[in-house]
Amino acid sequence: MIRSPLMTVMTDAVMKASRSLKRDFGEVENLQVSRKGPGDFVSAADRKAEQILRDALEKARPGYGFVMEESGVVKGTDPNHRWHIDPLDGTTNFLHGLPQFAISVGLERDGQIVAGIIYDPVKDELFIAEKGKGAYLNNRRIRVAARTEMADAVVACGLPHIAKGDHGVFLKELSAVMGHVGGMRRFGAAALDLAYVACGRLDAYWERGLNSWDISAGMLLIREAGGYLSDADGGSDPLVTGTIACGNETLHRELLKLLKTAKR
């Protein structure tokens, strides 16, 4: 387990926000049957969790900037540090009472992600990583899966939906990949997809149309767990392009080859 002051600060902030989310998730089922529906309630839950995270991190590390899903970019007095925060990754799952969502926080220092935490409050699973110190799930060191054959691999992806993403491109990529792998999955929370690759539950994953708060923590988890990643076209900076592909060294390379065939 990583017991640095930085990880303590991040863990404490995430745990505070998670208590709020768990309470609100318990109310979602009741709201499903109301005439108005749970949409406004979930938006409020999202904003509330984000504010809890911001307040806690600001108190512990004054001057750090923020890149947040709900509140956007907030510049700090310290130009070298920024938090990337997703207070509720998997909002649609949360909205429908599906227990697959997480809080994700990554710390950027001088343009590099140096610490990350992803917490699943329903399963009480805490994924953490700090640059050079490894990746952990609930105090246990984690590594990416060792499979090297795509035919044995379970691969996750994202799905574009109404008014988001290029549906045609995705269908070509899905067609290129699905015929070569042991199974395809779509869980609806990018942060957890990345965490699952890091701990070996998934063998590989790709998605387009993402933001820095979706992937910053998960990217570091995968690297510290011995994995490989790039953007979905093989480029070096997923935070800039908003696309990602990852796995162990072999499957990451094979996944990129398959995605490339979709462009022909």
Q: Is the pLDDT of residue 45 over 60?
A: yes
State the residue range of the domain holding 215.
150-261
Tell me how far the alpha carbon of residue 257 is from its chain's centroid. 23
| CATH number of the domain where residue 244 is located | 3.40.190.80
Band (pLDDT 50/70/90 cuts) for residue 192 is: very high
Same structural domain, 131 and 163: no
Same structural domain, 99 and 166: no
* pLDDT at position 42: 74
Domain endpoint, select from 141, 160, 182? 141
Q: Is the pLDDT of residue 132 over 70?
A: yes
Q: Give the CA count within 13 Å in the CB-facing half-sphere of 136.
A: 17
3-state helix, strand, coil in the chain (%, to 5): 40, 25, 35
Same structural domain, 133 and 162: no
Domain endpoint, select from 81, 110, 141? 141
Which one, of 126, 130, 89, 128, lies nearest residue 109 by Cα?
130
Same structural domain, 62 and 128: yes
Annotated binding-site ranges: 69, 86, 88-89, 214
Which one, of 91, 107, 203, 223, lies nearest residue 152 by Cα?
203
Same structural domain, 162 and 202: yes
Annotated binding-site ranges for Mg(2+): 69, 86, 88-89, 214
Q: Is the pLDDT of residue 243 over 80?
A: yes
| CATH number of the domain where residue 63 is located | 3.30.540.10
For 10, 245, 247, the CA distances from 217, given in Å and listed in that order, are: 11, 15, 15
In the chain, how many domains are there? 2
Domain endpoint, select from 115, 141, 167? 141
* pLDDT at position 28: 79
Q: pTM of the entire structure?
A: 0.94
